[in-house]
Structure 1
């Protein structure tokens, strides 16, 4: 019966026991196996009482789990006490917060909320992602810093006066500092929260990174001595550990408040399933976490599709990771493309990890880059694959290449 319907045995038992809820898609699979068509007329819709109807409105409309979680979303799950710590820190003069986590772990969502908290507490605020910068700008420090200053002006809705403040005699870094100090900060009567996302894009351009990160550190230090620089509150978000050589006295990555976003815990996964109006047993939650770890994006994608009835948990757990119907296929293919785009050495390093029976030690830069993609977790100096989903997909991929 399981082979005929394409459903897991546990799912079939639920269907025929008629005691547990199953989704429409599951019923359609059962009917189709017996060459029967499930029509709308086959469903009975009982009249919902006012009390029941009001309770249904408590459940939020589903949101596609892509990108930043909207500020007013009920699907944002706090990782206490991280939010409280960040909200408190950003209101301190000269603050610097460093957010670090692999991709799709919620950095941008938290960054947006810290900025919003600053705005609600009488701070001017700007969110700036370096993904918006043209690649050519990373090749030229002068052009990059002018772009940086111009974007701050644009986001603050004030006139762009970069040309007026730029002086070839002083050079790019001094001109940038003068622009922020004498034009931006001096004109503001309130503190200024500046959130910088995707700063690890600069790691690929060591000379630019060394100069720009040195500037951030200098501005932070200025905040200890000059009143005008105390207005600046910096938030720096990045996916990877800093693997480029930076002068320890010129780096912003060893000062301020470090915030490492962890994977979701079992309790947080339980809370998340309730938000999606799903009722999983502890055993089911354990199996889901084994498949995707505590990765927020992978978890939300599963719960979103299960809530819509596109897949059942049992089907998801048994699905071929290379199947066109797999809800994770697009994400997995993008992960593979990211690896291929960077260099073949990174793919070779991952191959060692997915077939290793225990944690192994790789080249440090390779380990850091794999972690930034969320593919591995560190255990001391060694790494291990982050979840069963990645292990299944990449083991099958590497076997197909032989």
Structure 2
């Protein structure tokens, strides 16, 4: 049975209940110490415009209506406008019957937050990248380098490579350099002790650093010895080590040269010593390497490089299908005219459109505004740029120019790492229309 979208389009608050709902909302926000309605909306993982529609008696998706009522401790059945939006039990049964057990299981739409879990059906492949990585990680002493700006899917791919390594019999460890506190970057010795201790803990091995940390040898050799004489023999299996957010080291010149040199050395040792054939490395970073590195000691010109591209039209359509949206190229083109093929921005757009928080046309009109679905994302980017004023000045210049802009390498690559710009031969341009519109207004 086919169900009309009009029958399941959602609910709205009854006109005689609107004042009551607004009063309850104010009380709840005061209890939770929320000073902004937009902040409250984002905590519910809905667009501010959707919350405003709810509070003003306009239609919102049924699932969203119930979610808001739950957080406001309201009985949704008591305040819903039944005349326009009533869904009978027979219609609800028909909705369930439209997803019979014999067909593909219905997937509840998934809020896009952080990496795509390895068991999620919402991961979109970018062939042949995944298969290339799975092939490489099976090799002795493998080194894979994943490069892409923030929120482009590096970590989602990294955890799938680690999953494949587990399937082939490796022990795996995932380490994000964001896990380390600032004290770990005081000097090379502290950093390497943190690194070795973290690997030990994640492998559930006893910390034996003091036993192997000899004073008379270099810090890098202490780390090498700890792996060669303790960790690798102890686990008795190959070890695939995934290092995420390695860009964080670029801010510490007393550390990054020696540590990256160590990784390159261990990768090359796999050609000579059998023990190092058991160590496979996967590095994820957000931009080109703009810090000075000896090319003979850099892991970034060795191993297998993986540049993650943006989604193409078909991948946007595949994602739309996962969100139960029956789209054609025209709808995908409209979305891409604002965000290009940025994976996270695409997921967020399709999530809110699927929930009927916004229509495609509303999305096009409000994407870069304070009331749009990206307001929290844009505020985060602005906050990050304000901490580095030279980046904010440069981004405003790029957004307002009608031609590629020349920037010094460090600023150019930092903006690229944040996903804000694309680097072309003549210069730098905004990575998508969303960022052009938003930063033009400042």
Normalising by structure 1, what TM-score? Answer: 0.88
Q: Distance in 2 between matches of 1:217 and 1:53?
A: 52
1:85 and 1:21, CA in 2 relative to 1: closer, same or farther beyond 3 A? farther
Q: Report what 1:132 is aligned to.
A: 179
Choose which of 402, 414, 422 in structure 2 pairs with 1:369: 414
Q: Report what 1:188 is aligned to.
A: 235
1:284 and 1:53, CA in 2 relative to 1: closer, same or farther beyond 3 A? closer
Q: Report what 1:24 is aligned to.
A: 10
1:360 and 1:20, CA in 2 relative to 1: closer, same or farther beyond 3 A? farther
Q: Report what 2:226 is aligned to.
A: 179
Q: Distance in 2 between matches of 1:187 and 1:32?
A: 64
1:361 and 1:26, CA in 2 relative to 1: closer, same or farther beyond 3 A? farther
1:53 Cα deviation (Å)?
A: 3.3
Q: Report what 1:270 is aligned to.
A: 317
Choose which of 209, 222, 237 in structure 1 pairs with 2:256: 209
User: What SS does the corresponding residue of 2:99 show, helix, strand or coil?
Assistant: helix
Q: Which runs of 5 or more structure 2 residues have no equivalent in the other structure?
A: 15-52, 60-78
1:310 Cα deviation (Å)?
A: 1.6
Q: Distance in 1 between matches of 2:218 and 2:367?
A: 57
Alignment map for 1:358-397 (pairs within 5 Å): 358-380=403-425, 382-396=427-441
1:167 and 2:214 equivalent? yes
Q: Report what 2:400 is aligned to.
A: 355
1:337 and 2:383 equivalent? yes
Cα offsets for 1:126-184 (capped at 9, x unmatched): 00111000112112110110010011111111111011100111031111110011101
1:93 Cα deviation (Å)?
A: 0.1
Mapped contact 2:11–2:80 kept (Cα < 8 A):
no
User: What SS does the corresponding residue of 2:402 show, helix, strand or coil?
Assistant: coil
Q: Distance in 2 between matches of 1:297 and 1:172?
A: 39
Mapped contact 1:94–1:232 kept (Cα < 8 A):
yes
1:230 and 1:200, CA in 2 relative to 1: closer, same or farther beyond 3 A? same
Mapped contact 1:216–1:252 kept (Cα < 8 A):
yes
User: What SS does the corresponding residue of 2:257 show, helix, strand or coil?
Assistant: helix
Mapped contact 2:148–2:154 kept (Cα < 8 A):
yes
1:108 and 1:119, CA in 2 relative to 1: closer, same or farther beyond 3 A? same
1:265 Cα deviation (Å)?
A: 0.4
User: What SS does the corresponding residue of 1:48 show, helix, strand or coil?
Assistant: helix
Mapped contact 1:124–1:192 kept (Cα < 8 A):
yes
Name the count of aligned residue pairs: 376
Alignment map for 1:59-78 (pairs within 5 Å): 59-78=106-125
Q: Distance in 2 between matches of 1:383 and 1:78?
A: 28
Cα offsets for 1:93-119 (capped at 9, x unmatched): 010000000000111111001001101
Mapped contact 1:263–1:296 kept (Cα < 8 A):
yes
Q: Distance in 1 between matches of 2:171 and 2:407?
A: 44
Q: Distance in 1 between matches of 2:13 and 2:328?
A: 21
Cα offsets for 1:203-250 (capped at 9, x unmatched): 011120001000000100111100000000000001121100000000
User: What SS does the corresponding residue of 1:259 show, helix, strand or coil?
Assistant: strand
CA RMSD between the two structures: 2.4
Q: Distance in 1 between matches of 2:166 and 2:232?
A: 16
1:21 Cα deviation (Å)?
A: 8.6
1:25 Cα deviation (Å)?
A: 6.9
User: What SS does the corresponding residue of 1:53 show, helix, strand or coil?
Assistant: coil
Mapped contact 2:143–2:302 kept (Cα < 8 A):
yes
1:346 and 2:391 equivalent? yes
1:33 and 1:180, CA in 2 relative to 1: closer, same or farther beyond 3 A? closer
Q: Distance in 1 between matches of 2:294 and 2:156?
A: 30
Normalising by structure 2, what TM-score? Answer: 0.80
User: What SS does the corresponding residue of 1:152 show, helix, strand or coil?
Assistant: helix
Q: Distance in 2 between matches of 1:23 and 1:379?
A: 44
User: What SS does the corresponding residue of 1:114 show, helix, strand or coil?
Assistant: helix
Q: Distance in 2 between matches of 1:282 and 1:382?
A: 31
Q: Report what 2:31 is aligned to.
A: none
1:363 and 1:267, CA in 2 relative to 1: closer, same or farther beyond 3 A? same
Q: Distance in 2 between matches of 1:50 and 1:322?
A: 37
